[in-house]
Structures are given as structure tokens and as C-alpha cells.
């Protein structure tokens, strides 16, 4: 993706969030110049992979296959292992009409996907086989505390206010329903680690390759190692 395209998606996303009265944490608004003045007190943001995350999944066509995400809170590795660590996460996402997030599941993360307003979110579901294929068995999920069953590859539609709980190893893909407008989507989950916990059914790139045609408006979380001062970045090599 070109940096200019990412900047435009950020501007568009911020306007939509404002329209939806969704307030972002302070670090969402830090410029790259402000980041340069930050110190080790901000290390949680980097270590827990918080912040901006805009991806086209390597498609080259963000409108068709892509996702706007912002990780608001997250635990670290300790949160998964110890009972005392932070073991939960929250994201806010924007999904455009017919904009696909490709089929994937998470090895460890259980996630609630919540329609926070705007259009409708369509989610297609499959159980996975032991070999990571799409199972033919019916799928049962909980939508706001109510068990719902669909056939393999069947869809559920989340209208504003509705949510679904997706357990680990359950394949899902989603998009905004055509004609209903873009969707503000929340995610409340166990600790999130996009570097190791995702299994995509098709070969996709989780993070975009960026062509730096203009300076960044805001840093993406994948920019931190390149942009942040060494005394903040303790990001382990992955
Ligand atoms: Fe997911």
C-alpha cells in the first residue's frame, strides 16, 4: 500500500469514528514527531502492539480486501501465561460495504465481534478440521447469549448492537453488507498476537508492504521498530 493511501484511510476512519461518537485514546493522535519525544514510559504501547493497524492483506485493493483496525488495549505474553497479567484485548475496526476480511481462525484467541453501529456485518463460519481444512459440520455460535446454528459456510448477520462469540479454531470471514453503509466493529478478546495466533485459510499478508510516497500521518503499530527511539523499543525480534 502507498503511505498516501494509508493516510487517507486514517483520515476517513477518524471522521467516521467522530460521526459515531467513538472516542479514541490519546496515543491514537500522536504524530511521528511527537513519538520521537516519547520515552520508556510508553513501552506498553509498543510491547503490546497497540495502535493503528491498516491492512489490505496483501491484496493491493483495500476496498475489496482490507481492514481498518486500532488496538486499544492488549495483554502481553505474560498475560497469556500468568494469572496476574493482563489477559484481554480490545480493538475497534471499520468495515466497508463488501470489504472482505479473509477466512481465518485464531489458535488461542477467543473473540467477541460486536457491531457498534452503522451498517450490518455479515460473518461466514466454518468449523476447522484437525488438518486446518474447512469442516462440513454445522456451526454453533453464541450471539448475545443465544446459541445459533448455521450450516458449514453459512452466514450470520450482525445488526447494530448485536455480537457473536467466536471460539479458537473456528474459521470466519466477514464483510459489510452491501447497501447498508460502513460498519463500526468492536472486538473484545483474549490477548491478541497477530504475529503468531492467526491461521489464514488462503495465503495472505497480515501486514501491508508500504511504499513511502509521503510521510506518515500517524504510525502504524508495524512502524514502531523503524520509527521509535531505541530506548522505547524493546520489541523482541519475531
Ligand atoms: Fe478473527
The domain ranges of the chain are 3-227
Q: How far is the CA of 48 from the centre of ligand 1 (A)?
A: 18
Over residues 199-205, mean pLDDT: 86
Residues 6+ apart with CB under 8 A from 15: none
DSSP for 79-146, written as a single string: HHH-TTS--EEEEEEEE-BTPBEEEEEESS--EEEEEEEES-EEEEEEEB-TTSPBP-S-EEEEETTE
Q: How far is the CA of 172 from the centre of ligand 1 (A)?
A: 7
Q: How far is the CA of 52 from the centre of ligand 1 (A)?
A: 17
pLDDT of residue 238 exceeding 50 = no
Q: How far is the CA of 104 from the centre of ligand 1 (A)?
A: 6
Over residues 173-187, mean pLDDT: 98
Predicted local distance difference test score (pLDDT) of residue 93 = 98
Q: How far is the CA of 5 from the centre of ligand 1 (A)?
A: 24
Over residues 186-191, mean pLDDT: 95
Predicted local distance difference test score (pLDDT) of residue 217 = 97
Q: How far is the CA of 106 from the centre of ligand 1 (A)?
A: 6
Distance from C-alpha of 180 to C-alpha of 24, rounded to nearest angstrom: 24
Instruction: Output 232 or 166, whichever has higher pLDDT.
Output: 166
In tens, the pLDDT along 87-142 reads 999 999 999 999 999 999 999 899 999 999 999 999 999 999 999 999 999 999 99
Q: How far is the CA of 194 from the centre of ligand 1 (A)?
A: 10
Predicted local distance difference test score (pLDDT) of residue 60 = 93
Residues 6+ apart with CB under 8 A from 51: 27, 28, 45, 70, 71, 219, 220, 221, 224
Q: How far is the CA of 136 from the centre of ligand 1 (A)?
A: 20
Q: How far is the CA of 230 from the centre of ligand 1 (A)?
A: 32
pLDDT of residue 230 exceeding 70 = no
pLDDT of residue 31 exceeding 60 = yes
Q: How far is the CA of 135 from the centre of ligand 1 (A)?
A: 17
Q: How confident is the model at residue 32 (pLDDT cuts 50, 70, 90)?
A: very high
Q: How far is the CA of 89 from the centre of ligand 1 (A)?
A: 13
Predicted local distance difference test score (pLDDT) of residue 84 = 73
Q: How far is the CA of 49 from the centre of ligand 1 (A)?
A: 16
Q: How far is the CA of 40 from the centre of ligand 1 (A)?
A: 31
Q: How far is the CA of 197 from the centre of ligand 1 (A)?
A: 10
From residue 99, alpha-carbon distances to 55, 61, 111, 122, 219 in Å are: 12, 10, 20, 10, 23
**Contact criterion met (CB below 8 Å) for 120 and 203:** no
Domain boundaries 3-227, corresponding CATH code = 2.60.120.10
**Contact criterion met (CB below 8 Å) for 104 and 205:** no
pLDDT of residue 189 exceeding 70 = yes
Backbone angles phi, psi at 46, to 5 degrees: -80, -50
- Secondary structure class of 41 (helix, strand, coil): helix
Predicted local distance difference test score (pLDDT) of residue 237 = 41
Q: How far is the CA of 167 from the centre of ligand 1 (A)?
A: 9
Of all residues in the chain, what percent carry a pLDDT higher than 90?
Answer: 77
pLDDT of residue 236 exceeding 50 = no
Over residues 66-95, mean pLDDT: 87
Q: Which of 208, 201, 172 has its CA nearest to residue 56?
A: 208
Predicted local distance difference test score (pLDDT) of residue 79 = 65
Q: How far is the CA of 30 from the centre of ligand 1 (A)?
A: 27
Amino acid at each position: 500500500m502507498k503511505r498516501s493511501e494509508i493516510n487517507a484511510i486514517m483520515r476517513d476512519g477518524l471522521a467516521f469514528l467522530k460521526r459515531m461518537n467513538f472516542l479514541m485514546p490519546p496515543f491514537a493522535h500522536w504524530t511521528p514527531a511527537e513519538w520521537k519525544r516519547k520515552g520508556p514510559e510508553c513501552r506498553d504501547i509498543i510491547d503490546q502492539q497497540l495502535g493503528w493497524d491498516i491492512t489490505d492483506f496483501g491484496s493491493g485493493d483495500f476496498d475489496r480486501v482490507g481492514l481498518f483496525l486500532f488496538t486499544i488495549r492488549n495483554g502481553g505474553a505474560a498475560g497469556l501465561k500468568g494469572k496476574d497479567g493482563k489477559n484481554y484485548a480490545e480493538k475497534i475496526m471499520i468495515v466497508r460495504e463488501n470489504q472482505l476480511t479473509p477466512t481465518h481462525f485464531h489458535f488461542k484467541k477467543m473473540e467477541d465481534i460486536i457491531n457498534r453501529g452503522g451498517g450490518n456485518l455479515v460473518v461466514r463460519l466454518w468449523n476447522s478440521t484437525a488438518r486446518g481444512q474447512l469442516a462440513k459440520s454445522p456451526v454453533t455460535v453464541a450471539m448475545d447469549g443465544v446459541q445459533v446454528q448455521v450450516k458449514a459456510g453459512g452466514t450470520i448477520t450482525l445488526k447494530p448492537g448485536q455480537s457473536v462469540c467466536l471460539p479458537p479454531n473456528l474459521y470466519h470471514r466477514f464483510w459489510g453488507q452491501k447497501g447498508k453503509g460502513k460498519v463500526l466493529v468492536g472486538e473484545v478478546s483474549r490477548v491478541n498476537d497477530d504475529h503468531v495466533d492467526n491461521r489464514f485459510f488462503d495465503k495472505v499478508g497480515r501486514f501491508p508492504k508500504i511504499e513511502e510516497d509521503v510521510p506518515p500521518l500517524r504510525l502504524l503499530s508495524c512502524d514502531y521498530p523503524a520509527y521509535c527511539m531505541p530506548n522505547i523499543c524493546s520489541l523482541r525480534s519475531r
